[in-house]
Amino acid sequence: MNVTFIGIGAIGLPMALQIKRAGHSVTGVDLSSRARELAQESGLAALDSFAAAPAADVVVAMVATPQQLASLVESVGTKLEGQTWIVMSTVGPDAVREQGRRLAAAGARVVDAPVTGGTARAKTGQLVIFASGEQADIDAVRPVLDAMGSVRITGPRLGDGQAIKVVNQHLCSVHIVAAAEALSLARSLGLDPAAVLELVQNGAAGSWMLSDRGPRMLQDTDVTVTSSINIFVKDSDLVAAAAKSCDAEVPLLAIANARYRKAADDGLGLRDDSRVIETWR
């Protein structure tokens, strides 16, 4: 298939490269000159606009925010017949439904398919993909989706994939902050946090986030960024908004959200999300 991949940042680039490795023709699109440079160094053609890209069978949208998705859809025009758009960003149910209607009005088919697994799993093609939309539309783009990871069909209603990702990000947000608080507690108790992490991570108190983020929490501010504080400000805000829309109580999410916001206010927004531990210092 001819694929245009919009948003070739830290997670988007390895996703696009997995699609290319599966034999598809892929063109990356990103406004960032640095992102385009890294893509080209990796052997992926990269341009600065959708209009400049070759005609596509499949368009993957991996932009960062609901506002960026809205701007993208506004910019692509009204002649999208023959294209299937896969929205893989975490933008929330309302955003994907609204922009899905606009894309459909322009002639495109739309699949909602947010991902979880981070850059590590993106690089190995082992993301988990929550796909919703018409089954025929999902089937049509399965060769592209399968190149990136394991597809979980969530139903025909566009936006249900995003809703499941909201639940996923609720847990991720809380688990990261819980891990940081626990390791900070270990330090306050006069224990070696690294030794405590080794002892507890494989027991009943363990979690994937503790094992993944915990070692980076024990490093310094300059640890390699795999997912930034700002991403979790955005994602926990999305969770809060979704919860408010259905009158769900999420007090633990509110605590986690406050920690990410404090970290961002402290100048850590572009740092790895593990640096939320610095809000306890």
- CA neighbours closer than 13 Å in the CB half-sphere of residue 263: 30
From the number of C-beta atoms within 10 Å of its C-beta (0-12, 13-18, 19+), residue 111 rates as: buried
How is 164-183 classified by DSSP, letter by letter? HHHHHHHHHHHHHHHHHHHH
**The pLDDT of residue 22:** 97
CB 38 within 8 A of CB 65: no
Cα dihedral sign, 47-48-52-53: positive
How is 122-162 classified by DSSP, letter by letter? HHHT-EEEEEES-HHHHHHTHHHHHHHEEEEEEESSTTHHH
**The pLDDT of residue 164:** 96
Is the pLDDT at 78 greater than 90? The verdict is no
**Cα-to-chain-centroid distance, residue 278:** 23
- What CATH number should be reported for the domain holding residue 248? 1.10.1040.10
d(Cα 228, Cα 64) in Å, to the nearest integer? 12
- What are the structure tokens assigned to 23, written together? 């034999």
Q: Which residues fall within 8 angstroms of residue 136, CB to CB, at 6 or more apart?
A: none
Query: What is the mean predicted confidence (pLDDT) over 44-66?
Result: 94
Domain count, the chain: 2
**The pLDDT of residue 26:** 97
Query: What is the mean predicted confidence (pLDDT) over 26-48?
Result: 95
Residues 115, 236 within the same domain: no
Residues 41, 61 within the same domain: yes
Query: What is the mean predicted confidence (pLDDT) over 233-256?
Result: 96
Q: Helix axis angle, 160-188 relative to 208-217, nearest 10°? A: 50
CB 107 within 8 A of CB 173: no
Last residue of a domain, one of 158, 185, 206: 158
Structural domain including 33 reads: 2-158
Active-site choice (79, 123, 165, 244): 165
**The pLDDT of residue 118:** 85
**The pLDDT of residue 268:** 98
Give CA separation, 152 vs 96, 198, 223, 234, 259, in Å.
Answer: 18, 32, 32, 24, 31
**The pLDDT of residue 281:** 79
Residues 51, 75 within the same domain: yes
Is the pLDDT at 252 greater than 90? The verdict is yes
**The pLDDT of residue 152:** 96
CB 72 within 8 A of CB 15: no
Last residue of a domain, one of 123, 158, 193: 158
**Cα-to-chain-centroid distance, residue 204:** 28
Torsion of CA 138, 141, 146, 149, to 10 degrees: -70
- What are the structure tokens assigned to 5, written together? 């991949």
Is the pLDDT at 120 greater than 90? The verdict is no
Residues 32, 103 within the same domain: yes
- What CATH number should be reported for the domain holding residue 15? 3.40.50.720
d(Cα 95, Cα 234) in Å, to the nearest integer? 14
Query: What is the mean predicted confidence (pLDDT) over 220-244?
Result: 94
**244 catalytic per annotation:** no
Element (DSSP H or E) covering residue 105: helix 93-105
Residues 26, 136 within the same domain: yes
Residues 41, 75 within the same domain: yes
Mean pLDDT taken over the chain:
96
Residues 51, 140 within the same domain: yes
Residues 22, 102 within the same domain: yes
Residues 220, 196 within the same domain: yes
Residues 118, 174 within the same domain: no
Is the pLDDT at 49 greater than 90? The verdict is yes
pTM of the predicted model as reported, rounded to 2 decimal places: 0.89
Last residue of a domain, one of 158, 173, 207: 158
Residues 6, 84 within the same domain: yes
Each residue's pLDDT tens digit, 184-216: 999 999 999 999 999 999 999 999 999 999 999
Residues 11, 127 within the same domain: yes
pLDDT interval class at 27 (50, 70, 90): very high
Phi, psi at residue 146, to the nearest 5°? -65, -25
